[in-house]
């Protein structure tokens, strides 16, 4: 809870909280990924507007400060290109648990981005976020996301 952390780096991936300057890059990444990400995440649809990206980013600090939602952009550590998003939401403080979620833009799929970013976010949640358990909810048939969860050491529960 409290102030946003410094960027976290693992290999060629950096995660950090979004800033208002990221809105147009987030919008472009979502637009590029409607056919891939949109299949699994309902917010990623053809009607997604720049205002949606701006609102997502604007809401983040308030939710962060009360420990309800930690949103990170995923960036290439060298080019600083926005590669996707990762975060922890649906936090239940009385059970010290939250939901770890991730998505990667179409052009970055298959490059190992999601496991690296999810590792960084999980480390944050289990240390700075004071959580003891992270869940990853994956729709049936989303084998790519399931593989990411397996690489993180997650265990299938049903």
The DSSP annotation for 82-113 comes to EEEEEEEEEEEGGGTEEEEEEEE-GGGTTTTH
Q: What is the pLDDT of residue 157?
A: 84
Round to whole Å and give the CA distance between 44 and 64.
Answer: 22
Judge residue 103's burial from the number of C-beta atoms within 10 Å of its C-beta, 0-12 exposed, 13-18 middle, 19 or more buried: buried
User: Rounded to two decimals, what is the model's pTM?
Assistant: 0.94
pLDDT for res 11: 87
> What string of pLDDT tens digits covers the 158 residues of the chain?
556 678 898 889 999 999 999 999 999 999 999 999 999 999 999 999 999 999 999 999 999 999 999 999 999 999 999 999 999 999 999 999 999 999 999 999 999 999 999 999 999 999 999 999 999 999 999 999 999 999 999 988 87
Beta bridge partners of 89: 99
Block residue for tokens 């009607």: 47
Provide the 8-state DSSP code for 32. H
Distance CA 71, CA 64 (A): 8
């Amino acid at each position: 809870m409290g102030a946003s952390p410094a960027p976290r780096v693992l290999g060629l991936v950096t995660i950090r909280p979004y800033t208002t300057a990221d809105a147009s890059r987030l919008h472009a990444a979502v637009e590029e990924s409607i056919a891939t990400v949109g299949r699994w995440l309902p917010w990623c649809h053809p009607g997604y507007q720049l205002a949606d990206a701006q609102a997502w980013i604007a809401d983040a600090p308030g939710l962060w400060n009360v420990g309800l939602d930690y949103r990170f952009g995923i960036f290439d550590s060298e080019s600083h290109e926005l590669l996707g998003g990762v975060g922890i939401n649906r936090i239940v403080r009385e059970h010290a648990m939250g939901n770890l979620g991730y998505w990667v833009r179409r052009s970055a799929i298959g490059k190992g981005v999601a496991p690296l970013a999810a590792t960084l976010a999980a480390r944050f949640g289990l240390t700075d976020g004071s959580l003891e358990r992270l869940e990853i909810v994956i729709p049936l048939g989303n084998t790519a996301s399931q593989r990411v969860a397996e690489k993180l050491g997650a265990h299938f529960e049903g």
